[in-house]
Each structure stands twice: as C-alpha cells, then as structure tokens.
Amino acid sequence: MAESKKKSVPPSALHKLPAGTSESQGPLTDLLSPEEMEKLSALQIVDLIVGKLPPRHPSILDMVYLRERVAGLEEMNYQAREAIEKLDAIVEKLRSPAFRVGTFLMPIESDKAHVCISGTDYVCRIDPQIPLSSLQVGQRVLCNEAFAVVQGLGFDRNGPIVRVDELLSDGRLRIGQETGLMPLVLQRSSLLAKEKLRPGLEVRLDVNQRVALEVVGVGKRVERSLETVTELPWGAIGGQDEAVQAIRDTIELPILHRDLFKRFEHSVPKGFLLYGPPGCGKTLLGKATAYNLRQQIKTHTGVDRPEFFLHVKGPEILNMWVGESERQVRDLFAQCRERASEGALAFLFVDEAESILGTRRAGRYHSILSTLVPMFCTEMDGLEPLQNVVVILASNRADLIDPAILRPGRIDRKIKVRRPDQAGSQRIYEIYLRESLPLAEPKTDLAAAVAQAQFARTPENQFLEVVYRSGKKDILHRGDLASGAIIAAIVERAKSLAIKRSIETKMPTTLTREDLLKAFESEYAENDLFPSTDLTEDWLKLTDFDPDNVVKLGPVKPRKNESLGAGIV
Ligand code: ADP
C-alpha cells in the first residue's frame, strides 16, 4: 500500500539522532534500544541510514534504489497479509454451523419468541436489531447456533394441505387425519387471522404443521353417495342372469355362509369388476348388489344393516394438484371404513375405473396413475375380505385396468355385463312396461313385438359397418347395440307419445304397440348414447371389438333410419 512507502521514522527514533550527523556516528543499534529497533520497518531503517550519510555521499543514490526495492517488498507483504485475512474470514464463515429455520409461533416479552424448529419448541432470544413487530405468526425465522432469531424469512411456500374439519370458538382449526396424522388443532397464521374460514376448506400448513398459512382450495370431497339405495330386487334387472348369478356367488354366498367358507379355507374377494358396454346395467347391478345383500342379511340374521353406497366416477378423482387424487382415494376408503365401523354395509362403486386404475396409458395423467394404482392396492389390502367394505369397479374397458388391481385377494372376480339379446331385451321391456300402466295389450305381447322389431335382421335395422384388419366387412344391426338404457328410453318415449295423443284427442288413451315401434325408430335415430361423429374410436367404445382387429367402425350410410325416424317425436 502507498502508505507504507510514506511511513516516516518515528519521532522517538529521530530525536536520538543529532542534526547534521555524519558518517563518524556509530551504528543505529548503538543509538536505539533493541525494542525501538524492533518497532521500525525496513523502510524506516533505510531512511535513518540515509539520514546519517553526509550530503552528496556516493552511497545516497544506492540507498534511494534500495529504498524503492524495500518499499516494493513491503507493499507486496501488506497485500498478501490482507488477502490471507480475507480468506481466513471466508473459511471461518464456511466452517460455522448452519442456521436453523423455524416457524415463528408467538412473541414472548419484547425480546423472546416461541419458535418451532424441526418439530421441537424453543423459546428463542430475538436479535435486538429485529423489531418484534416485524415478525408475523407462521412466518419462517432464521436461528443461529444459540437458537437466537437473527433474521425474518417470510412465509414458507410449501407444506402439506389438509382439510378443515371444525372451527373452534377461539378461531383455531381442527383438522382431520387424512395426512396420516392424528387429528390436530392448529392456529392461524397472521395471513389468515381475519379470514372467514369454514369446515371443508383446504389449507396449507407450515412445514412444522403447527400453523395454517393459506387457503388453497374448496376441498371438494368426492362424495356421490346414495345413503339409501332404492328398492331394487334382482328381478328389476333384465337380461343379465349370468352376471347376477356371478355377483351372488361372489358376494352373497361368502357373507351369508361365512363359517362354511372359513372351514373350506376358500378365498373370498374384496370386490368385483363389472365390465361391458355402456348403458347395460353395471351401475344398476352395483346398486342391486347393495340392496339385495341388505335384504338377505336381514332374512338370514334378523339384523338390518343399512347400506352405504358411495358412487364415484373415476375421472372425477383425477385432479391436477399433485397428491390431491391420492388424497381423494384415501378419503373414499376412509368414508367407507367409517360407515362400516358404524355397522353399515359399505360399498365403494368406482365407475369408469380404467381412468384412474388403468395401465398402458401415457400422457397427461401418467404420473398420477403411477401413484394411484399402488395406493389403491394398499387401501384394498387393508380391508378385511367382505367384513366391512365391498369395492365394485365398473369399466367399458376391462383390458385397460392395471393387473395389480385384479390380483387374488383384491378384485379377482371379473364379471361380464353383456348387451341384452332378444330374450333379454324383451324381459327388460316387460320390466318397464309395468302392469300398473295403461297398456293397450298384455305387457308380454307389447314387449315381444318391440323386441322382435328391434332384433329383426332387416335392411332398416342395419346400423353399423365394421371393416376388419383382414379386409372382411360386417354389418351390425340395431339389435346388436341394444342396451337396458336404450330400452328404458324407448319406453319413456312411447309413454310421452301416448300422453300427447291423450292431450290432443282429449280422450283417455293407452300405450300401444305403434307407440313403442315409433319410439324405437326415433330412439335409434336421435339417441345421445350413440356418438354424433363418424369417428371409429368413439364407436368402438360401444362394442366389444378388439380395437387392434378393426380398421373402421361407423354408422351405415345413408342411415336408413333417418327417413323413418325424423320428426316422429
Ligand atoms: P352402465 O353403468 O352399464 O353404463 P347403467 O346401469 O347406468 O349402465 O344403466 C343406465 C340405465 O339403463 C339404468 O338406470 C336403467 O334404467 C337402464 N338399464 C340398463 N341396463 C338394464 C337392465 N339390464 N335392466 C333394466 N334396466 C336397465
């Protein structure tokens, strides 16, 4: 540093050297004590020596040169020392222990605070430089080695999400156990102090799970429950005898003859999968299972166990929030277990199950599926077979359901729900053409007539054209696409035709064969169960064809039924 060059000889040393001293004077060590010599820098010593030389002494120029060199060395020394000091400070900093981050819970006196660090509570001193008023409940604070609060860090941006179960009178929140924790009581952060909260809302907690920081969602509980299933004896379902028998064997027998099954060590499933085309009664069969089981148990044991039927659609569970879908599934099982423990017969019916329990699906929901399937399996494994909860899955595409779900001990019974054939369709017509209705003919005759028309292999009934990969073509007739839903809708249309006629003629009328036939025509022409597009993909969903074998599947053109059906109803 430049300063070192200018450093002059200290006065205490100079005054010992008489003015105008000459070369006759003795060495400096005689003039100054060893301590004084020690205090002098090399540059100062050079200056003293020069001062002792007589004017114009030949060595003066050498001494000036020496002085320059010494000054340079001193400067270098000085800079090296400074650099070492800086490095020392850095090393010191790097070797010091990490700061801890805690959640500020509340102030205690003006210089102390209640802080939670890694789940443990501390009363920490606050650095006097931090005004207490600048710290807010729920925010993060930096604590040093002595656990003193040395800095405020603002609010955490991450943390678990939980649903508020109850508001306590003092404003604190009680939350449930969906995070796998015991139920907790939490305080609100300063951010939520004045917020209007209500049970069901979802809030985000600080990482220590002591304070509710912010509201993140309305907390939609997937709840499409039918507390009581309406009267639905097996006889109210037509054309599904095989499926009904399979369900009864799977569910009713093991429950009604528990001891027998135990004696034979016969494995009992925890539920079953219903698969088949839409509108053919999968949901109906699910509800009927619940209704009939309750009746059977009542008859056998005299105990009436109310049924709890939780009906959810797979796509409703998919949620863009990470972890939310899993929470919903856990919640569904929790609801069922809760009700079962209260003595109910609990059913979890998952419609369109392939959307959440599917395999071979990439794309948007892939990451959700990869966690949902194992989670669903874990929940299933936690159930006692048929003791408390019966899980029913329904799907149009059983081939897409992950095999892990369908392993023994989980849902290893797959029950096919077929499209009704002519006899089955006739039976369904009979179910909907109740005797209590004003019918023009006996219901069996009406049902037989319309079913026959529906299944006739006439050109008018040609409906879909299939082109197979082999090049072969096939025509599907309307009957090939019959379903319980279509039949129920045809009967409803026929009823409205009869009602209209009654209004127009001002005469009491009955439901006739013609009403049914007209309704049948228009139902196939306008039915919204059929896709409105020509897309093979959409039409494939209605059939059992293996998509790999079919090149094209679409409505027969021109649709014969258009001219017949238009403007009838
Ligand atoms: P899926 O779940 O297979 O799509 P649903 O069970 O929801 O079909 O059926 C829709 C409606 O169609 C039912 O509410 C019922 O009115 C009628 N339905 C379907 N299949 C039958 C059937 N086999 N017997 C009587 N009605 C049926």
Query: What does 156-169 look like in DSSP terms, one character per residue?
Result: -S---EEEEEEE-T
Nearest Cα residue to atom 12 of ligand 1: 485
Please state, as a whole number, how many other Cβ atoms lie within 10 Å of the Cβ of residue 297: 18
Closest by alpha carbon to 225, among 336, 311, 349, 317?
311
Residue of 280, 351, 487, 529 best suited for mutating to test ligand 1, as the one with most atoms within 8 Å of CB: 280
**Residues 6 or more apart from 434 whose CB is under 8 A from it?**
443
Q: Report how far ligand 1's centroid is from the alpha carbon of 284 (Å).
A: 5
Q: Which atom of ligand 1 is nearest to the CA of 287?
A: 6
- Backbone φ, ψ for residue 409 (5° rounding): 90, -15
Contact residues for 165 (Cβ-Cβ < 8 A; gap 6+):
174, 175, 176, 183, 199
CA 485 / ligand 1 centre spacing (Å): 5
- CATH of residue 247: 3.40.50.300
Domain residue limits at 165: 161-217
Q: What is the CATH classification number for the domain harbouring 126?
A: 2.40.50.140
Structure tokens at 13: 């040393």
Same domain, 430 and 552: yes
Above 90 in pLDDT, residue 21? no
152: left (phi over 0), alpha (psi -120 to 50) or beta: beta
d(CA 116, CA 122): 6
For the chain, helix (H) and strand (E) counts, in that order, are 20, 19
Q: 508 and 367 share a domain? A: no
Strand partners, 348: 310, 391
Nearest to 568 by CA among 529, 524, 531, 528: 524
Q: Which atom of ligand 1 is nearest to the CA of 237?
A: 24
Residues 389 and 411 occupy one common structural domain: yes
- Tell me the three state secondary structure of residue 496: helix
Residue 32: which of 21, 51, 45 has the closest Cα? 45
300 Cα: distance to centroid of ligand 1 (angstroms): 29
Beta bridge partners of 345: 307
Q: Which atom of ligand 1 is closest in space to residue 278's alpha carbon?
A: 4
SS3 string, 274-316, reads EECCCCCCHHHHHHHHHHHHHHHHHHHHCCCCCEEEEEEEHHH
Which atom of ligand 1 sits closest to the CA of residue 424? 23
Pocket of ligand 1 (CB under 6 A): 237-240, 278-284, 394, 428, 431, 484-485, 488
For ligand 1, mutation pick of 229, 241, 284 (most atoms within 8 Å of CB): 284
Give the CATH number of the domain where residue 508 resides. Answer: 1.10.8.60
**448/407 same-domain check:** no
> 258 and 187, same structural domain?
no
Structure tokens at 29: 């060590």
Over the stretch 347-394, which tens digit does the pLDDT of each residue have?
Answer: 999 999 988 888 755 444 555 567 788 888 988 888 876 566 899 999
Interval 450-499: pLDDT, tens? 999 999 999 988 888 888 888 888 888 999 989 999 999 999 999 999 99
Separation of CA 368 from chain center:
7
Instruction: Among 7-11, 171-175, 303-307, 442-446, name the one with the lowest average pLDDT.
Output: 7-11
Q: How confident is the model at residue 540 (pLDDT cuts 50, 70, 90)?
A: confident
Given this model, what pLDDT does residue 10 score? 53
Where residue 563 falls (left for φ over 0; alpha for ψ -120 to 50; beta otherwise) is alpha
Q: What is the pLDDT of residue 369?
A: 62
Distances (CA, A) of 157 to 11, 193, 214: 65, 18, 10
* pLDDT at residue 469 in the model: 87
Does the pLDDT of residue 569 top 50, yes or no? no
Cβ distance 272 to 243 under 8 Å? Answer: no
Please check whether residues 399 and 529 belong to one and the same domain: no
Domain match, 242 and 372 both: yes
Domain end call among 47, 72, 95 = 95
pLDDT-derived band at 337, boundaries 50, 70, 90: confident
Among residues 211, 110, 100, the alpha carbon closest in space to that of 149 is found at 100
pLDDT over 70 percentage in the chain: 86
pLDDT of residue 567: 35
- State the pLDDT at residue 181: 58
* % of the chain residues with pLDDT over 90: 40
381 & 237 share domain: yes
Position 224 confidence tier, pLDDT thresholds 50, 70, 90: low
Q: Specify the ligand 1 atom closest to the Cα of 277.
A: 3
| Residue 1: predicted pLDDT | 43
pLDDT at 16: 52
Per residue in 30-49, pLDDT (tens digit) is 888 999 999 998 999 999 99
Spatial CA neighbour of 328 closest among 320, 319, 341, 337: 319
**Beta strands 307-313 and 345-351, pairing class:** parallel
Relative to the CA of 420, which ligand 1 atom is closest? Answer: 23
Higher pLDDT, 252 or 243: 243
**Of 92-101, 171-180, 483-492, which one has max mean pLDDT?**
483-492
| Mean predicted lDDT score pLDDT of the chain | 84
- Residues 244, 390, single domain; the answer is yes
- Ligand 1, atom 11: closest residue by C-alpha: 485
Whether the pLDDT of residue 23 is over 50: the answer is no
182 CA → ligand 1 middle, Å: 42
Q: Could you tell me if 451 and 326 lie in one domain?
A: no
Tell me the CA–centroid distance for residue 90 and ligand 1, in Å: 76
Q: Are residues 472 and 520 in the same domain?
A: yes
Q: Which two tokens stand for residue 567?
A: 């403007």
Least Cα distance to 568 among 517, 513, 502 occurs for 517
pLDDT band at residue 563, thresholds of 50, 70 and 90? very low
Residue-level pLDDT at 372: 84
Considering its fold, how many domains does the chain have in total? 5
> How far does residue 488's CA lie from ligand 1's centre (Å)?
8
Counting from 1 in the atom list of ligand 1, the atom nearest the Cα of 240 is 23
Whether 179 has a pLDDT exceeding 90, the answer reads: no
Alpha-helical (H) ranges within 438-512 are: 443-455, 484-505
233, 362: one domain? yes
CA of 281 to the centre of ligand 1 (A): 3
Instruction: Give me the residue label for tokens 């017509």.
Output: 429
pTM exceeds 0.75 = no
Distance between CA atoms of 142 and 139, rounded to whole angstroms?
10
Q: Is the pLDDT of residue 2 over 80?
A: no
